């Protein structure tokens, strides 16, 4: 929730820009968090620029993915512009440029002896791995260690197990296995379930575009208007679907939490209406009431950012935003973070706001011409 | 298909930019064409900036949607930058700003008497329509005609039929009915089937982001390399899936057509290999052969754009690109343009290229270390 308060024309000018930025970047940060949850403690690198929706779609996706938990991006411009760690490995075209795969590895190793992640699947992953190990041994004699190898196609759960075995046996227990190619939170979770030995995940298209949800449906609604020196008049938009009817008023979000800081539920309330104690939260879908016991700990989430046109908020660096997101995710009920059969987090209207909304719905329906 | 030929480093630098631009804009132009086919001869306006993937995602989507067949966009920057017609109607916030809906219509009509498309669903579409008609009659007395009304929610197929009836009865047979809200080619086709009386469709999120296909999976592959003054050496990347194994060589596309210009099939061929006559096209999925009768008309699709760093192609204006797309779509077999149970267009490798590819696959598999 964001609250914008100001002269109507200025507020209207902000609408599309705010929606565009928030809808898309929230979508990608959420997707990144899901992918990182599936990857457990492994590093996830955002790899999707070539399939992103526009150049700046790729750029802002890299930023949002980092905040959502990714460890880096292959997008160099995002790295430069937002100070996100960049990383990447060899491309297939590097391998294909040479007549033989082993030659491609050797020449790369000569040029960048301390930065070798050999891409082994151009012709056949296991044969490629054998050739990579041969070059890695030569490098080792010269005093360098490979970083690892990358598997980009085929049955990577099985391949990674065999790759780990071969690398260990050849004396490279610290070599990392990078996995990429058509990944998302579900394929990663499935590979984990099958015992895949992957250290780093490169996730592209479905992370950078949010597939299968290419858009988050955030809206920007007028909640109240007032003439100079007068009272606020609340406003509402009706809809056949209850959840699509807008919320009137100047809104704030109260997040209740347990003593161990775990989140319980969020109540949206109107700032000029008294929040009942105990607080009753009304679900917008099924109208059920949830009572939060009196004296439950809470925090109000909205903080002022601009006031009278001045930025009054210390904008955190991207690392701090990422740390904040990680901390908040740790406080969320585990059941809402599950990839399958997840429970919805409890969010609803505080009772006074729900009553205000009901009165306004009735009044709007009775409106005379 | 695009062919890039040049020093390897330069070709590599182009990879990500070309893929990003072509994958995304082809996706959206295709989606727009599908939406326009569903809308039959009605105008479709692109409405999706607030849900687009980044600001420039919205901008390039507006451009691609116009080329794919849309009549305009609500994105003012795209209008200015690409000379795409812009249009839009009232926002809900305009209506909600006033205490009464009729007041919102009246004040709008006073300010823009020749540009009224009243948004009628803020409280109740039929009541809103009644109020809009009242204001339209007043406008008419003053010598102005409304352009129309917009339905943004509810059962718009039924609502549009009732709206048409009420507008006609009130003496506004030329008033247009604009429909918007969660539309795509399938919802439009379904509303058409139910007899909806819509003149203009405003399509947002699912057009601008391509949902449910948020990305087109185009790739950029090395087909051949050569040292100065030497012969081309063909290159291939293998994959467990036949269709994902790359195509070697310097490629061109030959599109065969009937005497009435209707497309028959496309053959991808290698420019230094003789195209057999009759041409045999090998399907990459199931390896079936299709023979194109000798002396069938064709055109080769790739034309030079840059040569030795110079632009040698006259870049068409956006209207010309749009006209070209429309003309090409009219020449496509109708069965491939159906929204449901569509047939795939026949595309495959010309036989000599298929043989070259098979030889290279065998050789890559036998590669010695």
Runs of H (alpha helix) within B39-71: 55-67
Angstrom distance (rounded) from CA A366 to CA B195 = 31
Q: Which residue in B51, B45, B80, B81 sits closest to B66, CA to CA?
A: B45
Q: Which residue in B164, B193, B196, B169 sits closest to B180, CA to CA?
A: B196
Average pLDDT by stretches of 10, chain B with 369 residues: 95 94 96 98 94 91 98 95 92 95 97 96 97 98 97 97 98 98 97 98 96 93 96 94 90 97 97 94 93 96 96 96 97 95 96 97 86
Residue A365 near chain B (CB below 8 Å) = yes
Kindly state whether residues A192 and A250 are assigned to the same domain: no
Kindly state whether residues A39 and A143 are assigned to the same domain: yes
Kindly state whether residues A271 and A350 are assigned to the same domain: yes
Contact A69, A36 (CB under 8 A): yes
Residue B54 near chain A (CB below 8 Å) = yes
Structure tokens of A140?
Answer: 């080792």
Kindly state whether residues A179 and A53 are assigned to the same domain: yes
Handedness of CA B268, B269, B270, B271 (dihedral sign): negative
Q: What pLDDT score does A368 carry?
A: 75
- Tell whether ipTM is more than 0.85: yes
Smallest CA–CA distance from B152 into chain A, residue: A239
* Secondary-structure percent of chain B, ordered helix, strand, coil, rounded to 5: 40, 15, 40
**pLDDT top residue among B240 and A224:** A224
Kindly state whether residues B73 and B153 are assigned to the same domain: yes
Angstrom distance (rounded) from CA A223 to CA A235 = 5
SS3 A91: coil
Q: What pLDDT score does A366 carry?
A: 87
Runs of H (alpha helix) within B125-274: 125-141, 156-169, 185-193, 205-208
CA distances from B349 to A342, B7, B246, B248 (A): 46, 27, 11, 11
Kindly state whether residues B73 and B147 are assigned to the same domain: yes
Residue B23 near chain A (CB below 8 Å) = yes
Angstrom distance (rounded) from CA A149 to CA A117 = 5
A60 domain residue, yes or no: yes
Smallest CA–CA distance from B361 into chain A, residue: A123
Average pLDDT over residues A294-301: 96
- Per-residue pLDDT tens over the stretch A80-105: 999 999 998 899 999 999 999 999 99
Contact at CB, A55 and B131, closer than 8 angstroms: no
**A153, A208, A369: residue with CB nearest B131:** A369
Contact at CB, A222 and B92, closer than 8 angstroms: yes
DSSP string computed for A1-70: -----S-HHHHHHHHHHHHHHHHHHHHHHHHHHHHHHHTTTSEEEE--GGGSSSHHHHHHHHHHHHHTT-
**Distance from the A209 Cα atom to the nearest Cα atom in chain B, whole angstroms:** 6
Kindly state whether residues A171 and A273 are assigned to the same domain: no
Structure tokens of A164?
Answer: 């780990």
Give residue A126's pLDDT band: very low, low, confident or very high (50, 70, 90). Answer: very high
B153 domain residue, yes or no: yes
Which domain-ending residue is among A185, A208, A231?
Answer: A208
Give residue A290's pLDDT band: very low, low, confident or very high (50, 70, 90). Answer: very high
Q: What pLDDT score does B237 carry?
A: 96
User: Residues of B with CB below 8 A from A99's CB?
Assistant: 233
Q: Residues 59 to 78 of A: which have CB under 8 A from any B CB? A: 59-61
Kindly state whether residues B103 and B201 are assigned to the same domain: yes
Contact at CB, A93 and B221, closer than 8 angstroms: yes
**Could you give the number of structural domains in chain A?**
2
Which domain-ending residue is among B183, B208, B233?
Answer: B208
* Dihedrals phi, psi of B199, to nearest 5 degrees: -100, -35
Range of the structural domain that residue A326 is part of: 221-366
Q: Answer whether residue A242 shows pLDDT above 90.
A: no
Contact B46, B35 (CB under 8 A): no
A113 domain residue, yes or no: yes
Structure tokens of B188?
Answer: 């439009």
Residue B117 near chain A (CB below 8 Å) = no
Angstrom distance (rounded) from CA B191 to CA B187 = 6
- Residue from B5, B7, B23, B214 whose CB has the most chain A CBs within 10 Å, to mutate: B214
Contact A98, A70 (CB under 8 A): no
Give residue A241's pLDDT band: very low, low, confident or very high (50, 70, 90). Answer: confident
B12 domain residue, yes or no: no
Kindly state whether residues A195 and A237 are assigned to the same domain: no
Kindly state whether residues B156 and B106 are assigned to the same domain: yes
CATH of the domain at B326: 3.20.140.10
CATH of the domain at B130: 3.20.20.70
Residue B215 near chain A (CB below 8 Å) = yes
Contact B147, B174 (CB under 8 A): no
User: Residues of A with CB below 8 A from B131's CB?
Assistant: 369
B6 domain residue, yes or no: no
**B24, B50, B97: residue with CB nearest A16:** B50
Kindly state whether residues B59 and B175 are assigned to the same domain: yes
**B23, B52, B154: residue with CB nearest A240:** B154
Kindly state whether residues A176 and A252 are assigned to the same domain: no
Which domain-ending residue is among B174, B208, B242?
Answer: B208
Say how many Å lie between the first and final Cα of chain B, rounded.
33
SS (H, E, C) B99-134: CCHHHHHHHHHHHCCCCCEEECCCCCHHHHHHHHHH
B15 domain residue, yes or no: no
Contact at CB, A53 and B61, closer than 8 angstroms: yes
Smallest CA–CA distance from B131 into chain A, residue: A369
A7 domain residue, yes or no: no
- Residue from B7, B183, B210, B215 whose CB has the most chain A CBs within 10 Å, to mutate: B215
Smallest CA–CA distance from B126 into chain A, residue: A365
Using only C-alpha atoms, chain A has a radius of gyration, in whole angstroms, of 26
Contact at CB, B97 and A222, closer than 8 angstroms: yes
Q: What pLDDT score does B241 carry?
A: 80
Q: What is the mean pLDDT of chain A?
A: 95
Q: What pLDDT score does B285 carry?
A: 86
B279 domain residue, yes or no: yes
Q: What pLDDT score does B216 carry?
A: 94
């Amino acid at each position: 929730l964001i609250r914008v308060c100001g002269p109507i024309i200025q507020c209207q000018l902000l609408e599309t820009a705010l929606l565009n930025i928030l809808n898309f970047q929230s979508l990608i940060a959420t997707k990144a968090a899901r992918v990182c949850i599936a990857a457990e403690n492994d590093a996830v690198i955002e790899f999707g620029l070539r399939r992103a929706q526009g150049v700046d779609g790729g750029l802002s996706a890299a930023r949002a993915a980092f905040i959502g938990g990714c460890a880096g991006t292959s997008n160099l411009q995002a790295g430069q512009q937002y100070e996100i760690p960049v990383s990447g490995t060899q491309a297939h075209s590097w391998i294909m440029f040479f007549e033989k795969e082993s030659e491609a590895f050797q020449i790369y190793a000569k040029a960048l002896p301390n930065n070798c992640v050999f891409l082994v699947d151009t012709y056949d992953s296991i044969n490629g791995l054998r050739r990579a190990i041969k070059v890695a041994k030569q490098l080792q004699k010269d005093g360098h260690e490979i970083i690892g190898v990358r598997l980009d196609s085929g049955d990577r759960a099985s391949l990674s197990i065999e790759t780990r075995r071969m690398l260990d046996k050849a004396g490279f227990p610290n070599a990392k296995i990078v996995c990429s190619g058509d990944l998302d939170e579900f394929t990663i979770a499935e590979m984990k379930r099958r015992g895949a030995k992957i250290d780093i995940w490169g996730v592209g298209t479905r992370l950078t575009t949010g597939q299968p949800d290419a858009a988050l449906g955030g809206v920007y609604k007028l909640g109240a208007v007032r003439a100079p020196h007068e009272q606020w008049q609340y406003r509402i938009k009706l809809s056949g679907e209850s959840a699509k009817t807008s919320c009137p008023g100047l809104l704030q979000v109260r997040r209740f939490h347990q003593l161990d800081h775990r989140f319980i539920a969020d109540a949206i309330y109107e700032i000029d209406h008294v929040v009942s104690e105990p607080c009753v939260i009304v679900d917008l879908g099924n109208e059920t009431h949830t009572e939060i016991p009196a004296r439950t700990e809470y925090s109000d989430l909205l903080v002022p950012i601009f006031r009278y046109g001045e930025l009054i908020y210390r904008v955190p660096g991207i690392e701090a935003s990422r740390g904040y997101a990680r901390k908040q995710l740790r406080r969320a009920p585990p059941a809402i973070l599950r990839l399958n059969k997840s429970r919805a987090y409890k969010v609803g209207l505080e009772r006074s706001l729900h009553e205000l909304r009901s009165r306004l719905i009735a009044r709007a329906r009775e409106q005379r011409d």
